[in-house]
């Protein structure tokens, strides 16, 4: 999987700072070559005369289910790019400010040629520190973009007070507690914090989740718990051992956390009425012949409301970790690196979506996966 070209989907509401970030990526000296596909799906960044225009073309998948769509124009552009492999190291797709990122992300799971050559590295969402709270209230796209994110750049922090920043961050965390979050002015995040992150974001779930699950009021759904210290913050300060399996981005990641004060202290604990997340931790192995059909059936049934799902699972008698991610009903998973001796073989699943029925999800997992092991 490592020789697949990483694709970053860059999203964020109108004016949040996507172009500012893109310009930084394209002008900074980092020794990497990025092919960039922008808004109306023209293409910039590798060769100035290679701008490919396309009409908007969206195909429905899964028998017309409205949540599963892919972009034909994007597939064609990517296929064109893939013919020129070797001229660039990674691809960035910038979506329009009001677009739902799902059809873009799903493209990388569905089209066979694209899937074989490229992989979705991360959805990076730019958020405007000053206006996001308003947009979350009046623009469903803005909420979707936060829910989809693997990485959130909370930009324009120069325009708000510390209190306002903590407020907007609390709102973001109510929707998506799992994304890595960076504060920024003029999108000044380290490039490695947003691009070519590999499976690092999934691994972070393993690192932070045990503490997060234990956080006392995580399961309470009241509106405001006052000042709530997310306990997992301190996890970022851990040092890697000699046989650390983290990739080289980790150093910079660590650095970025220190300077950007990742989750912020004293965040208010909000519950979003509409969007939220459910995570499941099972200490132990699962039978792939039970788990995989369950997962497939579950996202087929509930996928319209599940925006993202991800997980790392230990299968019986399988030395490698099974890693999956999905967008709505479309799933993609494979066996990746071996479980390390110091890692507890377990299953960790995260679902982010609209009006998720937490109890029903847990019960379905208990009765249909665990009891059938």
- Is residue 8 part of the contact set for ligand GTP (CB under 6 A)? no
Burial class (CB in 10 A: 0-12, 13-18, 19+), 115: middle
Beta bridge partners of 6: 119
Query: In Å, how far are 41, 122, 301, 311 from 104, measured between CA atoms?
Result: 11, 12, 22, 21
Among 6, 10, 11, 17, the residue binding ligand GTP under the rule CB under 6 A is: 17
Smallest separation, CB 158 to ligand GTP (Å): 5
# residues contacting ligand GTP (CB under 6 A): 17
Smallest separation, CB 96 to ligand GTP (Å): 7
- What is the Cα–Cα distance from 39 to 98, expressed in whole angstroms? 10
- Is residue 42 part of the contact set for ligand GTP (CB under 6 A)? no
Nearest to ligand GTP of 126, 133 (CB atom) = 126
Structural tokens at position 312: 């790392």
| Residues 6 or more apart whose Cβ sits within 8 Å of residue 205 | 178, 279, 310, 312, 348, 350
Contact 81, 1 (CB under 8 A): no
Among 4, 19, 62, 211, the residue binding ligand GTP under the rule CB under 6 A is: 19
Beta bridge partners of 11: 125
Smallest separation, CB 159 to ligand GTP (Å): 5
Among 6, 45, 97, 276, the residue binding ligand GTP under the rule CB under 6 A is: 97
Span of 132-140, 156-164, 172-180, 245-253 interacting with ligand GTP by CB under 6 A: 156-164
Span of 16-24, 115-123, 197-205, 223-231 interacting with ligand GTP by CB under 6 A: 16-24
Which segments of the chain does DSSP mark as H helices, in order? 18-27, 72-82, 102-110, 112-117, 132-138, 140-148, 162-175, 191-194, 200-214, 249-260, 288-302, 358-368
Nearest to ligand GTP of 9, 313 (CB atom) = 9
Nearest to ligand GTP of 19, 364 (CB atom) = 19
Which residues in the 229-268 window bind ligand GTP by CB under 6 A? none
Smallest separation, CB 21 to ligand GTP (Å): 7
Among 135, 143, 156, 232, the residue binding ligand GTP under the rule CB under 6 A is: 156
Smallest separation, CB 346 to ligand GTP (Å): 39
Smallest separation, CB 10 to ligand GTP (Å): 9
Longest Cα–Cα distance of the chain, Å, equals: 59
Smallest separation, CB 124 to ligand GTP (Å): 12
Site pattern 112..131 for ligand GTP (x: CB under 6 A)? --------------x-----
Smallest separation, CB 25 to ligand GTP (Å): 12
Span of 137-145, 155-163, 259-267, 304-312 interacting with ligand GTP by CB under 6 A: 155-163
- Is residue 95 part of the contact set for ligand GTP (CB under 6 A)? no
- Is residue 101 part of the contact set for ligand GTP (CB under 6 A)? no
Closest to 212 in 3D by CA, of 201, 223, 228: 228
Closest to 280 in 3D by CA, of 300, 304, 309: 309
- What is the Cα–Cα distance from 45 to 190, expressed in whole angstroms? 19
Closest to 228 in 3D by CA, of 160, 159, 174: 174
Contact 249, 194 (CB under 8 A): no
Among 8, 106, 125, 155, the residue binding ligand GTP under the rule CB under 6 A is: 155
Among 158, 274, 283, 343, the residue binding ligand GTP under the rule CB under 6 A is: 158
Q: Coil, strand or helix: which one is 103?
A: helix
Nearest to ligand GTP of 20, 107 (CB atom) = 20
Residue for token digits 């998948």? 61
17: left (phi over 0), alpha (psi -120 to 50) or beta: left
Span of 151-159, 165-173, 202-210, 280-288 interacting with ligand GTP by CB under 6 A: 151-159
Which residues in the 171-200 window bind ligand GTP by CB under 6 A? 185-187
| Residues 6 or more apart whose Cβ sits within 8 Å of residue 339 | 314, 319, 320, 321, 345
Residue for token digits 């910039």? 44
Cβ-based neighbour number of residue 198 at 10 Å: 17
Q: Which residues bind ligand GTP (CB under 6 A)?
A: 12, 14-20, 97, 126, 155-156, 158-159, 185-187
């Amino acid at each position: 999987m490592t020789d697949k070209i990483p694709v970053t989907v860059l999203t964020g509401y109108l004016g949040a700072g996507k172009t500012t970030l893109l310009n930084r990526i394209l002008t900074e000296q980092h020794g990497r070559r990025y092919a960039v596909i922008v808004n109306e799906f023209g293409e910039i960044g590798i060769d100035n005369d290679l701008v490919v225009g396309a009409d908007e073309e969206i195909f429905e998948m899964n028998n017309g289910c409205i949540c599963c769509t892919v972009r034909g124009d994007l597939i064609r552009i990517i296929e064109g790019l893939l013919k020129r492999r070797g001229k660039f190291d990674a691809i960035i797709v910038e979506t329009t400010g009001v677009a739902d990122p799902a059809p873009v992300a799903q493209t990388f799971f569905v089209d066979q040629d694209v899937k074989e050559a490229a992989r979705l590295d991360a959805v990076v969402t730019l958020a405007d520190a000053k206006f996001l709270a308003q947009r979350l209230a009046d623009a469903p796209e803005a909420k979707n973009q936060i829910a989809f994110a693997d990485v959130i750049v909370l930009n324009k922090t120069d325009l708000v007070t510390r209190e306002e920043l903590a407020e907007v961050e609390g709102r973001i965390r109510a929707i998506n507690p799992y994304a890595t979050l960076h504060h920024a002015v003029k999108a000044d995040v380290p490039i490695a914090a947003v691009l070519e992150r590999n499976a690092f974001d999934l691994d972070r779930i393993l690192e932070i989740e045990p503490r997060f699950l234990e956080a006392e009021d995580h399961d309470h759904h009241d509106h405001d718990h006052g000042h709530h210290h997310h306990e997992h913050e301190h996890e970022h300060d851990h040092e890697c051992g000699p046989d650390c399996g983290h990739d080289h981005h980790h150093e910079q990641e660590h650095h970025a956390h220190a300077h950007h004060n990742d989750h912020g202290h004293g965040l208010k604990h909000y519950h979003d009425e509409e969007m939220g997340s459910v995570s499941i931790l099972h200490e132990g192995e699962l039978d792939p012949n039970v788990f995989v059909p369950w997962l497939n059936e579950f996202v087929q049934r509930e996928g319209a409301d599940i925006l993202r799902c991800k997980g790392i699972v230990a299968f019986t008698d399988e030395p490698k970790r099974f890693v999956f991610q999905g967008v709505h009903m479309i799933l993609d998973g494979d066996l990746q690196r071996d479980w390390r001796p110091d890692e507890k073989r377990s299953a960790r699943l995260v679902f982010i979506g609209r009006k998720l029925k937490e109890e029903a999800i847990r019960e379905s997992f208990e009765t249909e996966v665990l009891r059938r092991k």
